[in-house]
Structure formats: C-alpha cells, structure tokens
Amino acid sequence: MSRHVQITFDAHDPKALSTFWRDALGYVHPGPPGVELPQGADPLAAWDDFLAGMGVPEEERDTRSAIEDPDGRGPRVFFQRVPEGKAAKNRVHLDVRAAPGLHGAERMAALEAECERLAGLGATRVRRHEPEPPFAAGHIVMTDPEGNEFCLD
C-alpha cells in the first residue's frame, strides 16, 4: 500500500516561505480548523484571528504554516520555525515540473519564463543546465527566499 507524504521545511519565517511556495506551486493556505472562510477571505488573516482568540502570543503566531494542493493530489507542505540557519546544500530538494511534455528550445523557454516569474516572488537563479539528449532534458537550479535549492524541471 502506498503512503501519503507531507513535505516539511525548516524556516526562519514560516509564513513568508509558505507564501512563496504557495505561489510557486499554485497551492493554497488552508483555513483554521472549524472556521468556515467566506469566498475571497485571507486564510492567513483568519489564522492570526484564530490564534489570537486561542491566546497564542503574537510572537508565537508565525512558528508554523502549511499549504495544500487545492485539487487534493499533491502533498501537503508544512513549514516550521527553527532557530538555526541553513548550513549546507539540501540533501532533499523539490523538482518543480514547469515544462511537462515540452522538449528542446520550447522546454527551456518555458523554464526560463517560470524562472523569471519565481525570481519576481523572491527566488534566486543559480544555474542553467542545457539539454543533453537522450539522458538530460535540461533544467534550471534555483533557491527559494531562504536559500533552499530546487530545480525547474
């Protein structure tokens, strides 16, 4: 039997990092438990109100955040605040499939467009790897706003 997974990021600013990845992946922030959000309501503001109502001190309200696939297919992504900084290259990273079914110049153009969009959200381009058929289709290495490496693939 297969298992569902949750991907967890250690972060200095879980809310900001989850917002980046929400926008990068097309995910959503879920609302607080038991809270019915009206159409167009900001789930992060709802969480702030929910946590304040629970008596959580303001300085503790950004210790966790999560995003979910609105279609329910992809894994939930959880962000937790940690005191230490990133010390080395990730041992696990995400490959963001930004050009499914495309090849060659068309694929690389799609990856470049997505690279530009993500840079506008706070990501940093690291390097581009050109296609080397038949084994490598080409990809772009980037880092998120906290320095976690990922690939546009």
Of 150, 7, 146, 151, which is closest to residue 82 (Cα–Cα)?
A: 146
* pTM as predicted: 0.91
- Quote the CA–CA distance of 134 and 88 in Å, as a whole number: 31
- pLDDT tens digits for 44-75? 999 999 999 999 999 898 999 999 999 999 99
- pLDDT tens digits for 94-114? 999 999 999 999 999 999 999
Average pLDDT over residues 119-128: 98
Output the average pLDDT for the chain: 94
**Is residue 152 over pLDDT 90?**
yes
**Is residue 78 over pLDDT 80?**
yes
What does the pLDDT read at residue 16? 97
What's the half-sphere exposure (Cβ side, CA atoms, 13 Å) at 60? Answer: 7
**Is residue 2 over pLDDT 90?**
no
pLDDT band at 138 (very low <50, low <70, confident <90, very high): very high
- Locate 93 and state its tokens: 């990273």
What does the pLDDT read at residue 86? 78
What does the pLDDT read at residue 66? 97
